[in-house]
Every structure is written in structure tokens, then in C-alpha cells.
Amino acid sequence: MKAMVLAAGKGTRVRPITYTIPKPMIPILQKPVMEFLLDLLKHHGFDQIMVNVSHLANEIEGYLSLSLRQISPGCNPLARSDRRDTLLLALDKRLPSASMIKSW
């Protein structure tokens, strides 16, 4: 199943935290909010997750790349669109690509 996580906002209501940390990466109980979302989506059977990004997108991409490699060692379960505003995560061992995002 497919899901989309909206993670492009600047988080203006939680400033000054979001000057350096994107809102989905704000830790709650020492765990980023994004990780709680991904855990719930995986638990409910979602295996392809699209994440739209903008503000501090590289921080989100770096975190997701690192944490997903722990789940799927030896593969890169993350792809970024040509426009650089969308990430595709594969939780089902398939290797995502930018072309998959277009057909999504």
C-alpha cells in the first residue's frame, strides 16, 4: 500500500526550534516525529511512502537514508525526485527510483 507524508512546512509555529531542525525531525521522547509516523505506517501495512519535502530537506533525507539502511542493510531504500521536492521510501526491499515517483 502507498502513503504520503506531508513534511515540507517551515514549522513557523514552533520557532526557534525549526530554524535548524525540520518540523518532522523534532524529537519527542528522544525519537523524531517522522519515525513515529513511519513506524505506524509500516505497522498498518504500508510499504511505499512518499514524503514531500522543502524546508531543510537534506536533514530529512539524511535521517531517513540512515534509518532505512538499518532496516534494509545493503540497499538504498530511498529515491529523490528530479524536482528535489519528493522522497520515495520503500519498506518492502524494492529499490525505489526517481522514475517510480512519476508513475506513483
Record the pTM: 0.73
- Tell me the pairing of strands 48-53 and 27-28: unpaired
Sign for the pseudo-dihedral over CA of 35, 36, 39, 41: negative
Residues 63-88 pLDDT 10s:
887 776 665 555 556 677 766 677 77
Grid coordinates in use for 27? Answer: 524529537
Measured distance CA(1)–CA(101) in Å, rounded? 14
So where are the chain's domains? Answer: 2-103
Cis peptide bond upstream of 77, omega within 30? no
- Is residue 95 over pLDDT 60? no
Measured distance CA(13)–CA(23) in Å, rounded? 10
Q: Which CATH architecture has domain 2-103?
A: Alpha-Beta Complex (3.90)
Identify the pLDDT of residue 103.
57
